[in-house]
Amino acid sequence: MRYVIRLSLLLLAAAAGGGCLEPETNKPKTDAPKAPKSGDGSPVEVARKPAPADNSFCFVCHLNYKKDELARRHAKGGIGCTYCHGESDEHSSDEDGLTAPELMFAPREINPSCMRCHKREKIAKEEAHESVLAEAAGKKKLCTDCHGKHRLKARTRRWDKATGKVVAAAGVRMSSDHPADR
């Protein structure tokens, strides 16, 4: 149910064209400092580069994403794994890897998720994005088709993206006493 609610909020935000949203609150970011004023009271433009995101906690198990284009570019801009996938504390502390991340995206959810920050109006100006924005079935491409694959090459676990329940648990296990392995 929480996935349905989260997706609904993402779709509403994308449709409304609002600012990039904080993952915890789904409210527009408000951490930007107030623009300084010049002597006449007019705002002065100040470039502020965000601190790179620290994804090292995720890279303990997901080292393959350290070189992933999508993860690298977002990290440089201060957007880490947890921004899209939640804190996922239970996932990262499950030695058997059977607990799903807090947020996962089915293919139909990928573009709306990206459009939380990357506004439709801005990307529509680039001709290469026509197929991403196309509404006709079968013609729509995913943002991740061109901007980093951002997919695991080999999976030992699969979850139902709507429920977070394990649907396949093959491969390396740290222990064999988890109910899903029986």
Quick check: is 146 in a domain?
Answer: yes
User: Which residues, at least 6 apart from 71, have a Cβ–Cβ distance to it below 8 Å?
Assistant: 55, 65, 81, 148, 150
Residue 175 pLDDT > 50: no
Cα-flanking dihedrals φ and ψ of residue 176, to 5°? -120, 20
Cα 7 to Cα 93: distance, rounded to the nearest angstrom: 25
Q: Does the residue 80 lie in any domain?
A: yes
Is the pLDDT at 113 greater than 50? The verdict is yes
Judge whether 157 lies within some domain.
Answer: yes
pLDDT at 2 over 70: no
Distances (CA, A) of 25 to 6, 15, 146: 11, 18, 29
39 located within any domain: no
Q: Is residue 117 part of a domain?
A: yes
As for how many domains the chain has, the answer is 1
Owning domain of residue 126 = 2-13+51-181
Task: Answer yes or no: is 27 within a domain.
Answer: no
**Per-residue pLDDT reduced to its tens digit, 121-172:** 888 888 888 878 776 456 678 888 888 878 777 778 888 888 888 888 876 5
pLDDT of residue 95: 84
Residue type, 16: A
Tell me if 131 is assigned to some domain: yes
* pLDDT over threshold 90, residue 90: yes
Q: What pLDDT was estimated at residue 51?
A: 93
The reported pTM is: 0.62
Identify whether 33 is part of a domain: no
Query: Across all residues in the chain, what is the average pLDDT?
Result: 76
Alpha helices in the chain (DSSP H): 2-16, 56-59, 69-76, 81-85, 89-93, 107-114, 120-123, 130-133, 143-146
pLDDT in tens, 7-62: 454 554 445 444 454 454 444 444 555 666 666 777 766 667 889 999 999 999 88
pLDDT surpasses 80 at 116: yes
